[in-house]
Amino acid sequence: KAYLQISLSKKDRDVLRFIITSENLTICDSAPIQAYRYKRLTFGITSSPFLLSATINEHLKKYRDIFPIAAQLLDNCMYVDDFIAGTSSVNAAFNVSLDAEKIMKDANIHLRKWISNDGTLIKLWEEKGFSTLPRQTSDCTDPELNKVLGLSWDIQQDSSTMDIKDLLKFLEQGKNTKHFVLQATGRIFDPLGLVSPSTVRLKCLFQEL
């Protein structure tokens, strides 16, 4: 929903045209077709992530003097529309979250699914009415695991883990082809580069086949 908070200037709306009819028609029917234009930025456009980031950065300029710490963290720790940051204490984290909420709410972008490895901070958020993330997600069998940028995060151990069950099942096919090695490499989701030493070897193997 973050993209839909960005309004498009009138001169750019022609680029986002779409056609629609007001009736349920079959492919053989003919009826006047109406053309509409989006007034808001939509998900799926190549430039959408850049425009969202640029808009947020411009919005943050208004708060660099009012909420300097929160504005800097929002500037440096935003991944598309996910805010991931850390502080040295619970009190500091709570203050940053309050300021971040105020900053983004002014842009009609509401921060949701708050989660922390500190139970005290989570309770403070809940008392303040924050939208917190349940400690167990639908795709996690461990109640203490939550997703952060696609990686499982154990909030008790404060560690990230990678689920490679599907990868191991795929490797059981044991096909010795370049296509198979390329497919196996593509199944490794590692946005932080934690297993780069292993993926590099796979890429070297792909070149040798």
Q: What is the pLDDT along the chain (209 residues), one digit of tens a residue?
A: 788 888 999 988 988 888 877 666 555 566 677 888 999 998 888 889 899 999 999 999 999 999 999 999 999 998 877 898 999 999 999 999 999 999 999 989 889 889 998 989 999 999 999 988 775 544 445 555 677 877 888 888 888 888 788 888 888 887 778 888 888 888 888 877 888 888 888 888 778 77
Query: How far, CA to CA in Å, does 55 sit from each of 3, 34, 96, 118, 188?
Result: 10, 31, 21, 32, 32
Residues 6+ apart with CB under 8 A from 107: 5, 55, 56, 59
121 closest CA partner among 88, 146, 164, 144: 88
Chain centroid to Cα 9, Å, comes to 26
Same domain, 123 and 142: yes
Same domain, 31 and 51: no
53 closest CA partner among 70, 76, 21: 76
78 occurs within a structural domain:
yes
Query: How far, CA to CA in Å, does 184 sit from each of 68, 190, 191, 193, 197?
Result: 44, 13, 16, 16, 15
Q: Is 0.75 surpassed by the pTM of this model?
A: no
Question: For the chain, how many structural domains are there in total?
Answer: 3
Same domain, 96 and 150: yes
- Domain boundaries, position 190: 162-208
42 occurs within a structural domain:
no
51 closest CA partner among 62, 61, 40: 40
Q: In the prediction, which pLDDT does 145 show? A: 65
Same domain, 54 and 130: yes
2 closest CA partner among 57, 43, 34, 38: 43
The span from the CA of 161 to the CA of 190, in Å, is: 10
70 occurs within a structural domain:
yes
